C-alpha cells in the first residue's frame, strides 16, 4: 500500500466591539454616537498530500498492490499481482462566516449669528453571511510507465477509482504524453469516476437612514430643510463548479478476461485520453443582485 499523507486544519474565530462617544461645546453644539459590531468565522479542511515515487524499475508479486493517493513513475515495470487498485482521494473543505453591525448618532448645533438650531440623527444596520464547501481531487493518483514495450502489468483483479494507468511521461507543463504501448492483462476490471464539486455563496444587506431639521431663534421649523434620506442595499453572489476525476487507461495492449478491452462494450465509456483524466463539467455564477 502506497498512500497519501494528510494535512488537516480547523479554525474558529469571533470578535465583537462596542463604542459610545459624546461631546459638547459652549456654543450649544453637542453630539453623541454609539456602535456595536460582531463577526465570526469557522473553517475545516482536509488535504491529501500524494506520495511521489520515481524508480527505474518497479516490480511486485504481492497479493495486493494498492496506490491510494500516490503518483508513481517508473521507467519499466513487472507487476504480477492478485489485486491491483489505483484510487484517487478527494480533498474536502467547509467554511462559514457572518457579521453584523449597528450604529446610531445624534447631533445638534446652533448658529450664533442667526440663532438657528440644527438637529440630526442617523441609524445604520448591516449584516452579511456566507459559506463554502468543496469535495474534489487535487492531484490524481497515477501509475506511469515510461517504457511500455518492455513492461508488463498482470493482475487477477484491477480496480480504478478515479485513478490512471498509462505508458506515459509527464511534460514540463504538467501534461502527459501517451506513448501508447501499455501492456496490461487482468482477469477483471472495475472502474468508477469521482464526482468533484465546490460551491460558495455570500449575501448581505444594509439599511441606512438619516433625518434632521432646522429651527429659527423662535423655534419655528424652517421650510428649506432636508428631512432625511433612507437607503437599502442588498448583495448576493455565489459560484458553483463541478467536474470529474475519471478512471483512465492509456493506449496499448489491454486485455480483460482474455479479450481485448476495445471489443468490450461495457468499457465503451472508459476514458482513454490521459490529458482528459480530470475535467470540468460546470463552472458558473449562481446568484447576483
Cα 163 from Cα 141, distance rounded (Å): 5
Residue by residue, pLDDT tens for the chain (289 residues) are: 889 999 999 999 999 999 999 988 777 789 999 999 999 999 999 999 999 999 999 999 999 999 999 999 999 999 999 999 999 999 999 999 999 999 999 999 888 888 888 888 999 999 999 999 999 999 999 999 999 999 999 999 999 999 999 999 999 999 999 999 999 999 999 999 999 999 999 999 999 999 888 888 888 887 555 567 899 999 999 999 999 999 999 999 999 999 999 999 999 999 999 999 999 999 999 875 5
Q: Reduced to 3 states, what is the DSSP secondary structure of residue 198?
A: strand
- Residue 240 host element (H or E): strand 228-245
pLDDT attached to residue 67: 97
Question: How many structural domains does the chain have?
Answer: 1
Quick one: which of 168, 150, 156, 145 has its CA closest to 80?
156
Which structural domain, as residue segments, surrounds residue 242? 2-9+17-288
The CB density around residue 21, as the number of other CB atoms within 10 Å, is 10
The pTM of the full predicted model, rounded to 2 decimals, is 0.81
In the prediction, which pLDDT does 288 show?
A: 59
Task: Say if CB 184 and CB 81 are below 8 A apart.
Answer: no
Greatest pairwise CA separation for the chain in angstroms:
106
Q: How far apart (Å, rounded) are the C-alpha atoms in residues 260 and 185?
A: 9
Nearest to 276 by CA among 236, 247, 235, 256: 247
Residue partners of 137: CB distance under 8 A and separation at least 6: 88, 89, 90, 91, 162, 194, 196, 245, 278
Of 200, 191, 201, 197, nearest to 280 by C-alpha is 197
Q: Name the one residue in this structure whose C-alpha cell is 475545516.
A: 44
What is the spatial distance between Cα 88 and Cα 245, in angstroms, rounded to a whole number?
8
**Vertex 108: Cα angle to 105 and 110 (nearest 5):** 160
Q: Are 222 and 214 in contact (CB under 8 A)?
A: yes
Amino acid at each position: 500500500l502506497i498512500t497519501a499523507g494528510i494535512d488537516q486544519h480547523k479554525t474558529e474565530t469571533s470578535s465583537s466591539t462596542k463604542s459610545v462617544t459624546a461631546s459638547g461645546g459652549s456654543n450649544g453644539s453637542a453630539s453623541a454616537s454609539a456602535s456595536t459590531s460582531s463577526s465570526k468565522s469557522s473553517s475545516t479542511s482536509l488535504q491529501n498530500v500524494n506520495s511521489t515515487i520515481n524508480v527505474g524499475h518497479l516490480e511486485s508479486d504481492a497479493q495486493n498492490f494498492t496506490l491510494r493517493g500516490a503518483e508513481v513513475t517508473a521507467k519499466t515495470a513487472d507487476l504480477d499481482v492478485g489485486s491491483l487498485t489505483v484510487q484517487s482521494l478527494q480533498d474536502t473543505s467547509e467554511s462559514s462566516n457572518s457579521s453584523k453591525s449597528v450604529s446610531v448618532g445624534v447631533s445638534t448645533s446652533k448658529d450664533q449669528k442667526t440663532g438657528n438650531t440644527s438637529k440630526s440623527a442617523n441609524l445604520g444596520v448591516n449584516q452579511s453571511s456566507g459559506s463554502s464547501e468543496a469535495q474534489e481531487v487535487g492531484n490524481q493518483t497515477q501509475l506511469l510507465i515510461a517504457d511500455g514495450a518492455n513492461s508488463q502489468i498482470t493482475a487477477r483483479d484491477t480496480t480504478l477509482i478515479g485513478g490512471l494507468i498509462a505508458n506515459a511521461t509527464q511534460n514540463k507543463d504538467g501534461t502527459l504524453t501517451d506513448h501508447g504501448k501499455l501492456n496490461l492483462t487482468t482477469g477483471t476490471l472495475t472502474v468508477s469516476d469521482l464526482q468533484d464539486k465546490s460551491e460558495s455563496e455570500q449575501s448581505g444587506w444594509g439599511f441606512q437612514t438619516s433625518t434632521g431639521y432646522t429651527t429659527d431663534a423662535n423655534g419655528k421649523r424652517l421650510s428649506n430643510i432636508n428631512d432625511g434620506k433612507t437607503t437599502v442595499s442588498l448583495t448576493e453572489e455565489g459560484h458553483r463548479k463541478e467536474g470529474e476525476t475519471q478512471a483512465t487507461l492509456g493506449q496499448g495492449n489491454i486485455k480483460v478476461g482474455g479479450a481485448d478491452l476495445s471489443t468490450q462494450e461495457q468499457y465503451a465509456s472508459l476514458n482513454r485520453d490521459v490529458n482528459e483524466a480530470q475535467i470540468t463539467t460546470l463552472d458558473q455564477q449562481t446568484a447576483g443582485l
